[in-house]
Structure 1
Amino acid sequence: MAAPASIVEGFERSLRECLSPFGFEVQPFKVGWYNAVLQPSLHLSHPEDTLAVLVLSAPQMFEKAFKPFLKNREFKNIRDPIDECVAHYVSRAVSQSFPAQKVEVSYDYEMLPNRRPRFLAQTAAHAAGAAYYYQRKDITADPWGNKKMYGVCMHPRYRGWFAIRALLVFPGVGAEGLVQRDPPDCVPSQELRIELLERFNLRWQDWSYRDIVPVEERYSEEQKTYFNTPPADRLKLLQESGDLQICPSY
């Protein structure tokens, strides 16, 4: 069923009102834009005009959502605090905004029984126009031979200082009025693209790929320390740091 443009805009506006104050961004797109660049086995099983919305976290999410979420938490039976935080805010936004509408929510960390991710986050970000997915095919003079090189998304404002968190699909809601726009190409030169992929693939731990071009906002030192901590040690870090005013450890 095709939804009037005003309804699609209303869905987007409702999500923005719920999520933007907590450092999240939302970007609507059509399922068909995503499916068009993937082999059939990776398709989302919905008609191509079905409305989907991608949820991203900006650097502010740590201060606006994560730290408030941690207050009064006992950290029992929590697999990953960030994942729990994202699920809390997204599920609340969905239930408040669409109490009578079916919404299929997939998170970036969820896997299918065949061990494939429920959706390809970076492909979705590019298809939605939210972030440019730089891949080996974007290099005209490939210098790597047979070496495997993974691609990476860059946000038009935050460059590498953001994360793709969730995919919302609205079964039965058509989005024919949406117009696809290419994501901003913020790493236009071949030299910088090569440097980006090499930094990401060969020394991602130093985080320098995130600053390959000038950036408006990046993670705080506190946030960097948290994400630099091995996942198995993050709960301990939170428990020992009180209000999370942790000092950089590098």
Structure 2
Amino acid sequence: MESKYKLLEARLNHILSPLGFEFYPFKVGWYNEKVGEAYVLPYNSDTLAFSIISTPDMFEKTFKPFIFEQDLSGTQDPIDQCMIHHFNLVKQEFPEEEIEVIHDFEMTFSRRPKVLLQTAGHVSGAAYYYRQNDLKENTWPQNKKMLGVIIHPKYGGWFAFRTVVIFKNIKCPDLEQQLPEDCVPTQELRKELFERFNFHWQDWSFRDIIAPVKRYSEEQKLYFQTLPKDRHELLVKMKKKHMCGD
């Protein structure tokens, strides 16, 4: 089984790395132990899954080439379309396996996320999910619920969780868990992180709570800072610029 897992990992790396994605393995049981009943994944605890993140390179390597080939007339979010397209291709690369892909935008009938990607990312060791109980004390009002925030040891906040890929028929009882790196170790810095994220999330300063190896490009920042209803016009301009060879 170890050799099969290593072969599978090498194939995933060959497919995903050139596209600006990184993947981190975990057992479904690790995730299920951390979530409420409504979010439990219905698989054996030893079932192999991967948490997939998009790095700052994904926008240039994958998203822009994708939109340049589209007519941009659909109503679905272009990033969502791009993820569906590429992870359908991933599934096609493993015809011998039963694979479930759960995207970050997928909801249940009751409008709950199908999977808690931040929790999956934490148990896979991809990035550390900081929550309010990671602070020994705080001075915020008792009725103020501070949202958790996840920080990657290389990219800080300049990345995104995109999907969980589950290999339904592959069990990996001997997979060793890699704990996420606690890259915001001091209480003072954690408090600052929570305040940046909860009170000033629009300025994106939380993403630089640690020095990242790479940030989003200016074009990528502009895209994600633009309201979804206005992104179509921006994409049309990007496509025209590309067609003109600028």
Q: Compared with structure 1, are the counterparts of its residues 156 and 243 closer, same or farther at alpha carbon in structure 2 (3 Å cutoff)?
A: farther
Q: Distance in 2 between matches of 1:244 and 1:160?
A: 29
Aligned length: 241
1:26 is aligned to 23
Residue in structure 1 matching 2:157, options 156, 160, 163: 160
CA positional deviation for 1:83: 1.2
Runs of 4+ more than 2 Å apart: 240-245
User: Is 2:68 the partner of 1:76?
Assistant: no
Residue in structure 2 matching 1:212, options 199, 209, 212: 209
1:238 is aligned to 235
Q: Deviations over 1:72-114 (max 9, x none)?
A: 3101224111111122122112211x11211011100000111
2:57 is aligned to 60
Q: Deviations over 1:128-148 (max 9, x none)?
A: 000000110100113222201
Q: Compared with structure 1, are the counterparts of its residues 118 and 228 closer, same or farther at alpha carbon in structure 2 (3 Å cutoff)?
A: same
3-state SS of 1:28 partner: strand
How do 1:43-54 residues align onto structure 2 when only pairs under 5 Å count? 43-54=40-51
Query: Normalized against structure 2, the TM-score is what?
Result: 0.94
Q: Distance in 2 between matches of 1:77 and 1:60?
A: 25
Q: Distance in 1 between matches of 2:55 and 2:8?
A: 21
CA positional deviation for 1:207: 0.2
- For the 8 Å contact 2:68–2:239, the answer to whether it is kept is no
Q: Which runs of 5+ in 2 are unaligned?
A: none
Residue in structure 1 matching 2:8, options 6, 11, 18: 11
**Matched AA of 2:113:** P
Q: Deviations over 1:184-229 (max 9, x none)?
A: 1110000110110111111100000000111110001110000010
1:129 is aligned to 125
Root mean square deviation, CA, Å: 1.3
Query: Normalized against structure 1, the TM-score is what?
Result: 0.93
Q: State the percentage of identical aligned residues.
A: 48
3-state SS of 2:239 partner: coil
- For the 8 Å contact 1:159–1:211, the answer to whether it is kept is yes
How do 1:106-121 residues align onto structure 2 when only pairs under 5 Å count? 106-121=102-117
1:140 is aligned to 136
CA positional deviation for 1:177: 2.1
Q: Distance in 1 between matches of 2:150 and 2:240?
A: 32
1:100 is aligned to 96
- For the 8 Å contact 2:158–2:215, the answer to whether it is kept is yes
Q: Distance in 1 between matches of 2:23 and 2:150?
A: 16
